[in-house]
Each structure stands twice: as C-alpha cells, then as structure tokens.
Amino acid sequence: MATIKDVAQRAGVAPSTVSYVLSGSRKISEETRTAVRAAVEELGYHPRASARTLRSARSNVLALAVPRQPGKYRGADGTFAIDISDAARDHGYDVVLITDADGVAAMRRVVGSGMADAAVLMAVEERDRRAAALREKEFPVALLGRGEDEPGLPWVDLDWEAAVALALRETVAAGHRHIVFLSSAEHEIESRRGYALRGLAGARLAARENTADIRVVPSSGEPEKLARALREALAARPAPTALVVQHLILLPHLLDEIAAAGLRVPEDLAVVLVGSFPDDPGGRPLPRIELPVTEMSAAVVRLALGAVGTDGSVPPGEQPPHRLITPLMATGSVIGPPSEPSS
C-alpha cells in the first residue's frame, strides 16, 4: 500500500507538501498541486481514515518537552514552563510536561498516544533529535530556540549572538579594555545548545570588532568549579575591569565570589548580564539584557498551535514561520567606566 512518502517521492516534493495539497491548509502552486495529485492517482494512495480521525479529534493539550538532567538545574525552565502554560490556557489548552533527558522516545510516545495536539521543544540543540523525530512523524511542533534551520520547523528565539555582542560593545564603549565573558556552562556547550553556541559566536564577533582584550571563560553548573574559574579569571594580568555573564543560574554565588575577592560591584568590577529575567538581576540593579520570557512564550505557543492540522513543517523553498527577537539593553542600564585606566 502506498504511503505519503511514496507520493512525495514520486511528485518530487516533501511529505509535508503532500499533506498541504490534500488538506488544502496552505497555499501551494498549481504546478505542485498537479504533480501531487498525479502521483496520488498513479499510486492509488488513500489517506488512512484512522489518521484523519485522530487529526480531527483534538486533545486540547500541548506537550512541553524540557529535558532534565539530574543535578543540572536551569531556572529558566520553570519560568518558561509557567508562562507557556499561561499562554496555552489563553488558547483553551492545557500543558503536559515531558522531562525525559533524551526526549526522542518520549516524543514518539506523545505522537503514538494522541495525548497532545502539538509539542513545544525547549533546550534545543544544534541538531535536535527530538525535532527530527517529530518531523518524521509529521507531528505539529515549534521550537523555543533554534537548531539548524534546515529542518524547516517554526521557532522563536532571542538573538543570542547579537545579545552577547551588544553587551560586550556597550562594555567597551564605557571604557573597559580588559573584559571577561563568562559564557554558558561547559555541559551546555558540549550538548550543542543553540543559545550557548550563539553566545560564543557573539563574543567572537565583538572581539573581532574591537581592540579590547575580551577573554572567554566557560561557566559551570558546579559552584566550586565556577568559583575556581572566576578566581583564575580575576587574577589574570592585566586585571579585568568588567565581567559580562551569560550563564546566570549561579549569579548570587558569582557575586559572593567577587565580594570574597575584595572587589566591589560596580566600583572595581562592572558586571553586565545577558539573558536575565525581567526585574530579577540577581537582586542587584545591574546593567543587563533581559530575556523576553512572556513574549517568547506567547509566540512559541501560537506557532505550535498554528501548526495543528498540518505536520508543522514547510514545503521546500518556503521559509518556516519564526520570531527572532532583537536584544536591547534594559531601561536604566548604565555601564560605569573602569575606576582606573586599564594597564
């Protein structure tokens, strides 16, 4: 019996395009529609009635995939989960949390059980196997963050590369010439998380654009390891006068270590945050680029639910719907100059 993939191969299009032609859910060129219909007729393809029934029977549930690793706490997960739940409720949807560390098997269970109409993926990796599995199953999905664009799935993200570059440019503009960029944690970089890799790219961009000494130091989710890395960075000569931080989970601990080193913030060391939660810069009025949690949550829910009734991907040659948010320094963020000229 012919499958939708057989039809797609015969017509020279993606399986998603066949779905769009058969459902009429998206505008497709007449040439493509003709090719798909010819392939359907030649192969005798008939969409399964059971599949149509499953697609029409809504669960009004959104699956939120948040991979959890024991001992690896990410405060952003809970904040986003709450805002995504609020946004889903505005659309009449409930949210089920999927916390499997690998996520692929869990996503396949979601698809097979019919428990959810669509999925939102968090902690997106550069090549995310969960996204590939859902695309293979033609299941509606949207990404909170970006992997590679080639899968053609909808996504929303802060422009992390631009955010880190902006924070470093503003720090240099304030007169700092010896700056430490505390990047995402090592395990996030090793896992190829999109925000971590793009943050590093932003630091490299800023370093190329400026003559300032910008040193990249990977952070850690382990307090003692982070403390050692920070002590080494602060002991370097010439001493850094500014610290730009992307990994904010252990920010209170970080500030304690700076104080233990006998340094005052911001008098001796300017601290600039990238991706802080609104109104929560570690309990201190620090200059920062805030993470637009509410805006991102609302956008990713709209994208996921907008894909319901299709497979959530796009035909070849078309761009997937997405939202890339331009970073801004938070209102009132002022980066003070170094207390003394850098040597």
Same fold for the domain at 4-56 and the one at 160-290? no
Over residues 194-217, the mean pLDDT reads 92
- Greatest alpha-carbon pair distance for the chain in Å reads 79
Cα distance between residue 341 and residue 241, in whole Å: 9
What number does CATH give the domain 160-290? Answer: 3.40.50.2300
Q: Which of 25-29, 40-44, 257-261 has the highest mean pLDDT?
A: 257-261
With 90 as the cut, is the pLDDT of residue 328 above it? yes
- Give residue-wise pLDDT tens across range 83-135: 999 999 999 999 999 888 777 888 888 888 888 999 999 988 878 888 888 88
Q: Which pLDDT value is given to residue 171?
A: 97
Q: Which pLDDT value is given to residue 306?
A: 86
What number does CATH give the domain 4-56? Answer: 1.10.260.40
245 Cβ neighbours under 8 A, 6+ residues apart: 182, 219, 251, 254, 271, 272, 273, 274
- Give residue-wise pLDDT tens across range 294-323: 999 999 999 998 888 544 444 444 556 888
The three-state secondary structure class of 152 is coil
Asked if residues 167 and 274 have their Cβ atoms less than 8 Å apart, the reply is: yes
Paired with 61 in beta bridges are 94
- Give which of 198, 197, 271 is closest to 234, Cα–Cα: 271
Q: Which helix (H) or strand (E) holds 289?
A: strand 288-290
pLDDT band at 50 (very low <50, low <70, confident <90, very high): very low
Tell me what the pLDDT averaged over the chain comes to.
Answer: 84
- Give which of 167, 191, 189 is closest to 180, Cα–Cα: 167
pTM: 0.74
111 CB neighbour count, 10 Å cutoff: 20
Cα distance between residue 331 and residue 59, in whole Å: 42
Helices 194-209 and 160-173, axial angle in degrees (round to 10): 30
Q: Which pLDDT value is given to residue 85?
A: 95
Residue 167 DSSP code: H
Cis peptide before 266 (omega within 30 of 0): yes
With 50 as the cut, is the pLDDT of residue 244 above it? yes
- Give residue-wise pLDDT tens across range 277-288: 876 645 578 999
Q: Which pLDDT value is given to residue 71?
A: 58
Percent of the chain with pLDDT over 90: 43
Computed on alpha carbons and rounded to an integer, the radius of gyration of the chain in Å comes to: 23
271 Cβ neighbours under 8 A, 6+ residues apart: 242, 243, 245, 255, 258, 265, 284, 286, 287
Terminal Cα-to-Cα distance of the chain (whole angstroms): 75
The CATH superfamily holding the domain 61-158+294-326 is Response regulator (3.40.50.2300)
Residue ranges covered by each domain of the chain: 4-56, 61-158+294-326, 160-290
Q: Which pLDDT value is given to residue 148?
A: 65
